[in-house]
Structure formats: C-alpha cells, structure tokens
Amino acid sequence: MEKHNLILQLLPGFNCGICGFQSCENFASALMEGQVQLNKCRVLEQNRFRENRSKLEQLIFSGMQDEMNRFIGLIDHCKADFCLNPLPGEISCRETLVSFSPLKLEKDMLIRYRPLGCPITHFARVISVDHGLADVWVTGPDRQENTNKEIIFMGVCMILSFQGIIMGKLPDVGQTVKFLPTHCMMGKVHSGVVVQLEDNRARIDCIDLKIWEHAR
C-alpha cells in the first residue's frame, strides 16, 4: 500500500483518462500489478514531469527486480525470464488446446483433461473454439466453479499457446523464453516462442515443459 501511494503521488493526478483508466489511482494499481506500462501516461512526457517520470521508472524497475527473484520453478528450480499473469479481469492465463478426443468442444463447456507432459488433471471453461482449437481458462484441479453443469472428460490434450500479461522484462517477438504462469498448480516453468507482443500483453506458442539452456 505504501508503494502504491508513492506511485500515485508521482503521477500527474489529472485523472484525464488518456491512459485508458478512469483515474490515476486505477492506473497506479495497474502499474503495481504489471498490467500496463508507464508510457501509457502521455502527460508524464511533459518536461515539467520529467523528474517524476524518472523516479517512477526507478521505483517500478526495482519492484520488477524483486518480483523476478521469485520467478523460480518449484520442481526443477529453474529461473524464469518473467511471470505470465492473466489478462485484466480474467481468472487465469488463456490457453489454446488441441484435443485428441472425438468429442466436439463448444463455448462455455466445462472440461476435464490432462495436458500432455503434465501429471495434474486440469478443469477448465471453454472461452471460444476456432477451427477445432479451444481457448480455455483453467479453473483448477478441484472443480472450483459452483455449477451443476456436466464436466466433460477430454483425455489428454496438448497446450499450444498461452496468452497473458508479462510481469518482468519484456522479450522480443520471436524470442524463445522461459516463463512461469501464475496459475500453474505445480509452479512449473514453461518454455515457448513469443509470437505476439502488444505493450506487455503476449501470446506465446510452441509450449513445452522441458526447459533448455538456449531458452535464456
């Protein structure tokens, strides 16, 4: 809370909404959570706020470094390049699945499956289906949703992609990275290739649970 207030004091305080948030306080919260970059505040580009901007950059960078030190896998103790948080307002990072089951996936379907290479059964809600590929939110291994809706068993599925918000140093498009999804129940570092990057929103393809040295 102290850091949030410090960030808020260094922001212009105009509540102009140019950054896409209703107030500077909301923008400060988004900065704290790594959901937005400082350059979204155009007012800070004015010369009179140059010193404030410099202080904010140092404050945010130091916070990111502290967070980075915690991006360590629980099983193989591998250090990730960054943590991948859910998109704003979502419960987990979006995952794109390939199902080998003959059952047809549909929007809002609740499914149970085991990702290829992972020992834990996942429960998820289907967000959308496009050409047989399903985007899902993982809701947990314990049926966290209060619903009487049937949960369909899909067997083994392959995760092709992740979509989320990067907390940490931003990679380049095309770069092979090691990342830790915040909702991963094993705390397992994943690897993949960054194929889309808009501000700190990323799509990572070619997901693998094997971590290679060249993925640094």
In which residue ranges of the chain is pLDDT below 50? 68, 214-216
Q: Which of 74, 67, 84, 81 is nearest to 215 (CA)?
A: 81
For residue 108, the model assigns a pLDDT of: 93
Position 99 scores a pLDDT of: 94
Compute the distance between CA of residue 83 and CA of residue 194 in angstroms, rounded to an integer.
13
Q: Find tokens 């290679």 and name the residue.
A: 212
- In sequence order, what E strands does 8-87 have? 82-85
Asked if residue 193 lies in contact with residue 176, where contact means CB atoms within 8 angstroms, the answer is: yes
Tokens of 96: 């794109």
Domains and CATH numbers, the chain: 2-68 (1.10.15), 82-215 (no CATH)
The number of beta carbons lying within 10 Å of the beta carbon of residue 186 is 12
Distance CA 171, CA 193 (A): 10
Return the half-sphere exposure (C-beta side, CA atoms, 13 A cut-off) of residue 59. Answer: 21
Give the separation between CA 170 and CA 184, rounded to whole angstroms.
20
What per-residue confidence (pLDDT) applies to 215?
Answer: 43
Tell me: the pLDDT tens digits for 137-159? Answer: 998 876 555 566 789 999 999 99
Distance CA 139, CA 69 (A): 27
Helix, strand counts (H, E) of the chain: 3, 9
And the tokens for 10?
């260094």
Report the distance separating Cα 78 and Cα 168, nearest Å: 16
Q: How far, in Å, are 55, 158, 196 from residue 181 at the CA level?
A: 29, 16, 17
Helix, strand, coil percentages in the chain from 3-state DSSP, rounded to 5: 25, 35, 40
